[in-house]
């Protein structure tokens, strides 16, 4: 089998090994691929692996030998599934490989906001503590999570992991979910979106991006939140109307926004969230722990092996 990896750098910037995939065929690995380079680079490929390089109907049509597309991520919107289906091309993805890493990032952001860890580390470096008249130095409010309400929108793998961590911190957890109360672990209460927005001290977006969830955070829904609310998005950037949210942050309508995702990545310099008040952004790295990337690499190889051996495919989309 001829295997072409179109954009392998984010998965493996050189700290992992491709050997598990190389053992399955002739492997051509590219760090990055522009759209106009796909047809030439993958001309002989029977198997393509892609993370963010888009394979639309036109691209797929130009690859007559293609039999399998492996998406090196959970989201598979980079592939035209209907075009793949018409050609009989198998498409797989890799769900749940980064569940704990993303849930960990939710709390990395939350703890930074509630204890201002980065701020105080910087202040200590500037000499604020050594020049302080007291044994401690603090110039911001500090917030304890125990007793606060965590509202989770979307209770899939990552949402559930986030909920369990919140419970361990002593938080009350309510969730917008299709699951009923009897399906949920003790301590998690199902709620409507309006209830989550109105009652939660912290709101974590962990739902998929669909037509119904696109822009779920907007001027109208922000008006339902507490002024002290902390909003966290580790799901998908377009869940948030960025202009509405930036206005809310700058006016003090909500306390803070934390995100590891934006609507366009990398962002345009004009993105209003880049300069918004109390806005804390990380560059889409929640998934990228070494442990999560090792799992992703192994699952990608397992998916290909199942395909080559004609076994039922665990992560088949098409």
**Ordered alpha helix ranges (H), the chain:** 19-22, 38-41, 57-61, 81-87, 99-115, 117-125, 157-168, 193-199, 219-222, 242-250, 290-308
Q: Which residues contact 80 (CB under 8 A, 6 or more apart)?
A: 55, 56, 57, 60
Q: Which residues contact 104 (CB under 8 A, 6 or more apart)?
A: 165, 286, 289
Buried b / exposed e along 80-95 (16+ C-beta atoms within 10 A): beebbeebebbbbbbb
Q: Which of 92, 14, 97 is nearest to 305 (CA)?
A: 92
Q: Which residues contact 51 (CB under 8 A, 6 or more apart)?
A: 6, 7, 8, 10, 11, 71, 72, 73, 78
- Is 265 a known active-site residue? yes
Which is catalytic among the residues 122, 144, 265, 291?
265
Which is catalytic among the residues 30, 119, 253, 284?
284
Can you say whether the dihedral through the CA atoms of 25, 30, 32, 36 is positive or negative? negative
The rounded distance, in Å, linking the Cα atoms of 175 and 223 is 19
- Is 242 a known active-site residue? no
Work out the angle at residue 170's Cα, subtended by the Cα atoms of residues 166 and 175, and round it to the nearest 5 degrees: 45
Q: Which of 189, 194, 195, 168 is nearest to 111 (CA)?
A: 168
- Is 236 a known active-site residue? yes
Which is catalytic among the residues 46, 109, 116, 236?
236
Catalytic residues: 236, 265, 284
């Amino acid at each position: 089998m001829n295997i072409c990896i179109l954009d392998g750098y984010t998965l493996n910037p050189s700290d992992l090994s491709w050997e598990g995939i190389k053992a399955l065929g002739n492997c051509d690995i590219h760090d990055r691929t522009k759209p106009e380079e796909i047809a030439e680079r993958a001309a002989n490929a029977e198997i393509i692996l892609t993370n963010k390089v888009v394979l639309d109907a036109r691209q797929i049509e130009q690859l007559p030998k293609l039999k399998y597309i492996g998406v090196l991520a959970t989201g598979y919107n980079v592939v035209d599934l209907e075009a793949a289906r018409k050609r009989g091309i198998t498409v797989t993805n890799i769900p749940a490989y980064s569940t704990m890493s993303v849930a960990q990032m939710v709390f990395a952001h939350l703890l930074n906001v509630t204890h201002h860890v980065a701020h105080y580390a910087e202040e200590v470096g500037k000499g604020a503590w050594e020049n302080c008249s007291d044994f401690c130095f603090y110039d911001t409010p500090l917030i304890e999570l125990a007793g606060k309400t965590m509202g989770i929108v979307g209770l899939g793998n990552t949402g559930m992991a986030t909920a369990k961590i919140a419970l361990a911190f002593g938080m009350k957890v309510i969730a917008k979910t299709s699951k009923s109360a009897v399906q949920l672990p003790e301590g998690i209460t199902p709620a409507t979106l309006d209830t989550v927005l109105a009652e939660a001290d912290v709101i974590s977006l962990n739902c998929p991006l669909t037509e119904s969830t696109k822009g779920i955070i907007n001027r109208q829904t922000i008006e339902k939140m507490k002024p002290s609310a902390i909003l966290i998005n580790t799901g998908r950037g377009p869940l948030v109307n960025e202009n509405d949210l930036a206005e809310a942050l700058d006016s003090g309508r909500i306390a803070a926004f934390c995100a590891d995702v934006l609507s366009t990545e990398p962002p345009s310099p004009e993105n209003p969230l880049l300069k918004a008040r109390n806005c804390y952004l990380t560059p889409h790295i929640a998934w990228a722990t070494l442990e999560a990337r090792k799992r992703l690499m192994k699952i990608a190889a397992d998916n290909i092996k199942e395909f080559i051996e004609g076994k039922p495919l665990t992560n088949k989309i098409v």
